[in-house]
Homo-oligomer: A and B are copies of this chain.
Amino acid sequence: MSEIIELCRRAREASYALSAASRATKDAALHAMAAALRDNTEQIVTANAKDVAAAREAGTPESTVDRLALDPARVDAMAAGLEQLAGLVDPVGEVVRGYTLPNGLELRQVRVPFGVVGIIYEARPNVTADAAGICLKSGNAVLLRGSSSAAESNAAIVEVLRAAAAATGLPADVIQGVPGDRAAVKELMQARGLVDVLIPRGGAGLIQTVVSESTVPVIETGVGNCHVYVDSAADLDLALTILLNAKTQRPSVCNAAESLLVHAEVASEFLAKALPALVDAGVTVHGDAEVVAAGKDIESAADVVPATEEDYGKEYSSLDLSAAVVPSLEAAVEHIRRYSSSHTDAIITRSQAAARQFVQAVDSAAVVVNASTRFTDGGEFGFGAEIGISTQKLHARGPMGLPEMTSTKYIVIGDGQIRN
A residues lining the B interface (CB < 8 Å):
16, 19-20, 99, 101, 105, 107, 109, 112, 114-115, 192, 196-197, 211-212, 215, 217, 219, 235, 238, 241-242, 245-246, 249, 337, 355, 359-361, 363-372, 374-376, 380-382, 392-395, 397-398, 407-420
Task: Name A93's closest neighbour in chain B (CB-CB).
Answer: B360
Question: In the complex the two chains form, what is the Cα distance from A320 to B195 in whole Å?
Answer: 31
Pairwise interchain contact A107-B410, C-beta atoms closer than 8 A: no
Please measure, in the bound complex, the distance between the C-alpha atom of A212 and the C-alpha atom of B190, giving whole angstroms: 10
Please determine whether B245 and A414 come into contact, CB atoms closer than 8 angstroms: no
Q: In the docked arrangement, what's the CA distance between A416 and B407, Å?
A: 36
**How many angstroms between the C-alpha atoms of A115 and B366 in the bound complex?**
16
Interface class of chain A by DSSP: mixed
Are A409 and B112 within 8 A (Cβ)? no
Given contacts A107-B381, A409-B397, contact A419 B245 (CB under 8 A): yes
* Contact present for B382 and A99 (CB under 8 Å): yes
Do B241 and A416 have beta carbons less than 8 Å apart?
A: yes
Task: Tell me the nearest residue of chain B to A237, going by C-beta.
Answer: B416
Pick the contact of A101 from B99, B107, B381 — CB < 8 Å?
B381
Residues in B whose Cβ lies below 8 Å from that of A337:
16
Cβ B359 vs Cβ A411 within 8 A: yes
For A413, the closest partner residue in chain B by CB is B369
Q: How far is the CB of A240 from chain B (nearest CB, A)?
A: 11
Q: Which of A109, A245, A417 has the most CB of B within 10 A?
A: A417
- Chain B residues within 8 Å of A112, by CB: 363
- Contact yes or no, A408 B397, CB < 8 A: yes
Q: Are A410 and B369 in contact (CB under 8 A)?
A: no
Nearest Cβ in chain B — how far from A334, in angstroms?
Answer: 10
**Contact with A369, one of B115, B368, B398, B412 (Cβ below 8 angstroms):** B412
Do B20 and A415 have beta carbons less than 8 Å apart? no
Give Cα A237 to B158, complex, Å: 52
Contacts of A367 in B (CB 8 A): 409-412
Residue of B nearest to A238 (CB): B416
Contacts of A192 in B (CB 8 A): 211
In the assembled complex, the Cα of A366 lies from the Cα of B375 at a distance in Å of 38
Tell which of B99, B361, B372 touches A16, judged by Cβ atoms closer than 8 Å: B361
Docked pose: A393 CA to B404 CA in angstroms: 12
22 CB < 8 A contacts A-B: A19-B363, A114-B394, A115-B363, A197-B393, A197-B394, A238-B416, A355-B413, A359-B411, A365-B409, A366-B410, A367-B409, A367-B411, A369-B412, A369-B413, A370-B414, A370-B417, A371-B416, A380-B419, A394-B394, A397-B408, A397-B409, A397-B410
Identify the 10 closest CB pairs spanning chains A and B, nearest first.
A371-B414, A245-B418, A393-B407, A395-B395, A374-B419, A371-B417, A366-B410, A394-B395, A368-B412, A372-B418
Chain B residues positioned under 8 Å from A414 (CB to CB): 368-371, 375
